Amino acid sequence: MQIKKSVSDIQRLKQSSKITMVTAYDFPTAQVAQQCGVDMLLVGDSVGTNVLGLSDVSQVTMRDMEHHVKAVGRAAQESFVLADLPYHSYETPRQALKNAALLMTGKADGVKIEGEAEIVDIVRFLSGSNIPVCAHIGYTPQLSAGKPQVQGKDAQRARQLISGALALQQAGAFLIVLELITEQIAAAITQTLTIPTIGIGSGPWCDGQVLVMHDLIGMTGKSFKHVKAFGSAREQLCQSISDYAREVRQGTFPTSANASTIPPEEFAQIKKWLDEKGLTGNAQTL
C-alpha cells in the first residue's frame, strides 16, 4: 500500500536522514522521481525557464503553476509535493491563502514562498489556515534582479539570514530552503532551527538538498557551481533522435515487426473491393 509522506514525516527526517528533493514539472518525471525514492517533489516556478521557454521566473503565472501541479499531483502517490507560489501571487495574506488553496486543490501538499522578514505575516496566516508552508531565503530568484549572488558573506547579512530563519520558523514554516548561502551560515541556521533546512548551493550541512531536475540529469547543457550533473540526458536524447531520423530516411524503420496485419481472408476481400473500384493504382504492396 502506498503511503503519502506528510509534514511530520518530512520533519522527522531532520533527526534521521538527509532529505531528498528534486523539481518535477510533469507526470512522467514525477513518476520516475517517486519510483527512485525521492522524498519531495518541488513544482518550482523554475518551470518557466526550464520548460516554458520564459526568460525569467517572474513571468510564471498562477495558471502555469496550477497546470503543472495537477500533472505532478496525479503521479505523486508517495512523495510530498511542494509547489511554488509564483511572483506577485502572495502580496497580501488573503491573496496568498486564495492562491495556496488553488495549488492544494491541484494536489500540492504544501506551498513555498520567497522572502524573509517581509513574509513573516503571510507565513503565519497561511500556517494558521492549515496550509503547510516552506520558506525560501538567501538568493530568491523571484525577487532578485541580475546575476545570482551568494548570501551571508558578511556578518551583517549573516545575522539577517539567521534572524529571518528563526522568525519564519516561529511564524509556522515547517521547512526552509536555503539558496546560495555560505556553507558556514547555512550550517549555523540548520543547527539553530528545529525545522529541516533544504540547501541549494549552500553546502553539505543542510538537512537535505534540492536540485533542478534538468540540471542534475545533464539536460540544460549549462554548468553551475552548485550543481553536479548525474547524467548526460541532453546528449543521450540527441543521439536517440538522430538515430531515429536516420533510420526513417534510410527506410530501415519501421519494419513489418513494428506494424500489425489484417487476416489474409479479410484482406482478400479488401483487395477484391479495391480492384472492383479501380482504386489499387500502383500500390505494389497490395
Instruction: Assign 209 a pLDDT band (cuts: 50, 70, 90).
Output: very high
Task: Please tell me the predicted confidence (pLDDT) of residue 220.
Answer: 86
Give per-residue pLDDT as tens, 80-123: 999 999 999 999 999 999 999 999 999 999 999 999 999 999 99
pLDDT above 70 (res 1): no
> How many angstroms separate the CA atoms of 173 and 195, rounded?
8
Give per-residue pLDDT as tens, 33-61: 999 999 999 999 999 999 999 999 999 99
Q: Which of 35, 125, 135, 128 is closest to 84 using CA atoms? A: 135
Task: Please tell me the predicted confidence (pLDDT) of residue 286.
Answer: 63
> How many angstroms separate the CA atoms of 4 and 2, rounded?
7
Q: What angle do CA 175, 178, 183 make, to 5 degrees?
A: 130
Q: Of 104-108, 168-172, 222-226, which gets the smallest average pLDDT?
A: 222-226
Instruction: Assign 225 a pLDDT band (cuts: 50, 70, 90).
Output: confident
Q: Which of 117, 213, 130 is closest to 170 using CA atoms? A: 117
The one catalytic residue among 78, 91, 179, 235: 179
φ/ψ of 155, rounded to 5, equals -60, -40
Contact between residue 110 and residue 174 where contact means Cβ atoms under 8 Å apart: yes
pTM of the predicted structure, to 2 decimals = 0.92
Cell reading at 249? 530516411
pLDDT above 60 (res 269): yes
Percent of residues, the chain, with pLDDT higher than 90? 89
Give per-residue pLDDT as tens, 59-81: 999 999 999 999 999 999 999 99
pLDDT above 90 (res 165): yes
Cell reading at 150? 551568494
Examine the residue annotation and report whether 114 is marked as an active-site residue of this protein: no
Domains of the chain: 7-216 (3.20.20.60)
